[in-house]
Amino acid sequence: MRVLITGIAGFAGSALAQLLLDEPDVEIHGVIHRHDWRIRAMRGQLQLHKGDLRNPSWVDEMIQEAQPDVLLHLAAWSDVGGSWSQPWVAYELNIHCQLNLLEAVRRFAPECRVLVVGSNEVYGRVRPEDLPVNEETPFRPNSPYGVSKIAQDMMAYQYWCNYGLSIVRVRSFNNIGPGQADDFVASAFARQIAEIEAGHREPVLQVGNLTAVRDFTDVRDVVTAYWLAVQKGEPGAVFNVGSGRGDSIQTVLDTLLAMSDVPIRIEQDPTRLRPSDVPAMICDNRRLVEATGWQPRIDLRRTLQDVLDGWRQDVQGNRAAARGVSA
């Protein structure tokens, strides 16, 4: 079975590739654009296609060459906060790239099973009575990113409805785990703590809104859900992916701080506050569980420990490199 992962060098894409390395009879293909540091250790086990998904001619050639049996489309602009300052970039990357892919699949690999990865941000301004959020919750996007993910979601539905492509959609809630960029909250906290421990910054941790409640799920559990959904989900179906549990940002911060012996002062940074924020977002994952049998297995504390340990290793490695020491 040929499996093609777009965004294979990204946070979730690399975790998915790692998962599929243990699957028998799977030939893993991946699309990379610029960096590949997350997948460097497994490059020899991957068939990589380097190019730009915004280029329809390149996408056509790539799909014809790879001839995937399964396509998992993870490549996307994922910075919700950044979409406020660069809305058109978010729209172009999330909408244009997917359109090129689905057109190529329609013409050159019509039997391919496709997973389109969406986001809980499509639900936007959820109300207390909406919690936990299920797949029938109305779309009320409150960011340019959320609008772009609705377009992806509805485009995927349309290609299933009109062209009969075997497309399954997922709407993923808050993914966290080691290797995540520090423009996401848990990773931002962990990096600051690691740098404070190493003496690289003053013992002051900058935070935004700590009262918001989110459904945090380890990325290793999330990609397992993706793999099960694309195999077992009915074409045309959509599944929320999340733990079904809500934790406040304050809980995330307190858990990470308890893992460090260094005294740290907390300060609010106004630049970390979004123009619009939702008090609580918790996933109703029952449809996914019933269809696939998926269950999250990694608890929040273990995930946060792995995130912090990853940043500690990275900070130590940077320091060693700066001193000319082999890390």
Q: What is the pLDDT of residue 35?
A: 85
The rounded distance, in Å, linking the Cα atoms of 237 and 116 is 11
Q: How many domains does the chain have?
A: 2
Measured at the CA of 82, the angle between CA 35 and CA 95, to 5 degrees, comes to 70
CATH number of the domain residue 190 falls in: 3.90.25.10
Is residue 191 included in any domain, yes or no? yes
154 and 270 in one domain?
A: no
Is residue 286 included in any domain, yes or no? no
**What interhelical angle do 56-66 and 97-108 show, nearest 10?**
40
Q: What is the pLDDT of residue 321?
A: 45
Structural domain of residue 275, as residue ranges? 185-214+245-281+298-322
Q: What is the pLDDT of residue 325?
A: 35
Is residue 293 included in any domain, yes or no? no
Q: Are 22 and 229 in contact (CB under 8 A)?
A: no
DSSP 190-201: HHHHHHHHTTSS
- In whole angstroms, what separates CA 292 from the centre of its chain? 20
Is residue 291 included in any domain, yes or no? no
Residue 131, SS3 per DSSP: coil
Label residue 61 exposed, middle or buried (CB < 10 Å: 0-12, 13-18, 19+).
middle
Is residue 327 included in any domain, yes or no? no
Q: What is the pLDDT of residue 327?
A: 29
Is residue 292 included in any domain, yes or no? no
159 and 37 in one domain?
A: yes
Is residue 23 included in any domain, yes or no? yes
165 and 75 in one domain?
A: yes
Give, for all 327 residues of the chain, the pLDDT tens digit. 999 999 999 999 999 999 999 999 999 999 999 889 999 999 999 999 999 999 999 999 999 999 999 999 999 999 888 899 999 999 999 999 999 999 999 999 999 999 999 999 999 999 999 999 999 999 999 999 999 999 999 999 999 999 999 999 999 999 999 999 998 999 999 999 999 999 999 999 999 899 999 999 999 999 999 999 999 999 999 999 999 999 999 999 999 999 999 999 999 888 766 655 789 999 999 999 999 999 999 999 999 999 999 999 999 886 444 433 332
Structure tokens at 97: 């790239």
Q: What is the pLDDT of residue 274?
A: 63
pTM of this prediction? 0.94
Q: What is the pLDDT of residue 50?
A: 97
